[in-house]
Amino acid sequence: MENKETYWSENTRIILICLAIWFVVSFGFGLLLVEPLNAISLGGYKLGFWFAQQGAIYSFLGLIFWYGHKMNQLDIKYDGESK
């Protein structure tokens, strides 16, 4: 029982970290901070524009795979299975 509780709280902690990054790269860099970031350029891209149309999507990808990886580790730690 206690095991289940800590498994769940570790899971929610990882989710919160991921969602914070999810928010920052899309709503933060792509929307709220787009104007200051547009002053910086990345090749021919304005940085804010790049986040909104490219960077956010790459970050989402990284997040989902990182989350899957962390959860696999947690599953092994609490359940002892690696499949």
Partner 1 sequence: MEELKLYTYIAVFGTFALYFAIAWWARAGSTSDFYVAGGGITPLQNGMAIGADWMSAASFISMAGLIAFLGYGGSVFLMGWTGGYVLLAMLLAPYMRKHGKFTVPEFIFDRYYSKTARIVAVACLIIASLTYIIGQMKGVGVAFSRFLEVDYGLGLGIGMFVVWVYAVLGGMKGITYTQIAQYVVMIFAYTIPAIFISFQLTGNPVPQLGLGSTLADGSGMYLLDKLDLVVTELGFKEYTTSNLGGTLNMFAYTLSLMIGTAGLPHVIMRFFTVPSVKAARQSAGYALVFIGLLYTVAPAVGAMARLNLMSTIEPSAGEYLVYDERPQWFKDWEKTGLLKFEDKNGDGKIQYTSNKTDQPVTITGAISGKEIVLLPNEMVKVDRDIMVLANPAIANLPNWVIALVAAGGLAAALSTAAGLLLAIASSISHDLMKGVLVPDLSEKNELLAGRVVMTLAILVSGYLGLHPPGFAAGTVALAFGLAASSIFPALMMGIFSKRMSGTAAISGMCAGIGITMLYVFQHKGIMFIPGTSFLGDMGPNWFLGISPNAFGVVGAIVNFGVAFAVLQVTGPCPQHIVDMVENMRAPGDAPAAHDH
> Which of 13, 20, 65, 73 is the binder for partner 1 (CB under 8 A)?
65
Q: Of 24, 37, 40, 56, which one interacts with partner 1 (CB under 8 A)?
A: 56
**Encoded tokens for 2:** 């206690």
Element (H, E) at 62: helix 56-79
Pairing label, strands 41-42, 45-46: antiparallel
Q: Could you give the angle at the alpha carbon of 27 between the alpha carbons of 8 and 9, nearest 5°?
A: 10
Chain residues in the site for partner 1 (CB under 8 A): 4, 7-8, 11, 15, 18-19, 22, 26-27, 30-32, 34, 38, 42-46, 49-50, 52-54, 56-58, 60-61, 63-65, 67-68, 71-72, 74-75, 78-79, 81, 83
